Amino acid sequence: MAELTTLARPYAKAAFEYAKGANALAVWAEQLSVAAAVSQSETVAKVLASPLLTAAQKGDTFVEVCGDALNDKGKNFIRNLAANKRLGLLPAISSLFEEFKAQLEKSVDVDVTSAFELPQATLDKLATALKTKLGRDVTVKGLIDESLLGGVVIRAGDTVIDDSVKGRLAKLAEAMNA
């Protein structure tokens, strides 16, 4: 996964810088999201893997499938990715673009995963604490993972705080095996 991110970063950065300069961050975020979803389609993946098509044909086919979801600059971006055999990176490019956009907007999405549904008051307190700690606007989303047994796992961008029973047991097992 780290290798995909490394390959996708220059493309995401280029798209972000262009979109920022053109004051079109929302438009580009939507275009990249659509393109990422299209690239993950099983049918499209088969077409893109075909050795019978040239890179230009793959790019044109991809643009055609996306239809009106892409503007001219977005179509050129997709064709450029196709020419460099990087269409498979679209999900990672879209994800990185969203991270750059959130960083610019000084906001971060936080996933709080617990074994059971947390009350909204608890999520609000957590959002306030994280806003102070991270110095950004925070949007908290509560998720449920019954395999955690108890505790929570908080994911805010690259930061992960694992205070779950499952995580503690894994750390204890690792310590005992070391």
Residues 50 and 137 in one domain: no
Instruction: Give the domain range for residue 40.
Output: 2-102
> pLDDT tens-digit profile of 94-110?
999 998 988 887 877 88
> pLDDT tens-digit profile of 6-16?
899 999 999 99
> pLDDT tens-digit profile of 54-110?
999 999 999 999 889 999 999 999 999 999 999 989 999 999 999 898 888 787 788
Alpha helix segments (H runs only) across the chain: 2-21, 25-39, 42-49, 55-66, 72-83, 90-104, 120-134, 165-177
- Pick the last residue of a domain from 102, 127, 162: 102
Residues 64 and 95 in one domain: yes
- Pick the last residue of a domain from 53, 83, 102: 102
- Pick the last residue of a domain from 102, 137, 160: 102
Residues 114 and 98 in one domain: no
Residues 67 and 125 in one domain: no
Cα–Cα distance between 159 and 109 in angstroms, integer?
A: 11
- Specify the number of domains making up the chain: 2
Chain position carrying tokens 């779950």: 164
Residues 12 and 84 in one domain: yes
Residues 121 and 84 in one domain: no
Residues 82 and 116 in one domain: no
> pLDDT tens-digit profile of 102-158?
888 787 788 999 988 989 999 999 889 888 887 778 888 989 988 888 888 988 877
pLDDT at residue 1 greater than cutoff 60: no
Torsion-angle region of 23 (φ positive above 0: left; ψ -120 to 50: alpha; else: beta): left
Lowest-confidence range among 21-30, 60-69, 157-166? 157-166
Chain position carrying tokens 């608890």: 122
- Whole-model pTM: value is 0.62
Joined tokens for residue 109: 């999405």
Residue 33 pLDDT class (50, 70, 90 cuts): very high
CA 14 to chain centroid, in Å, comes to 16
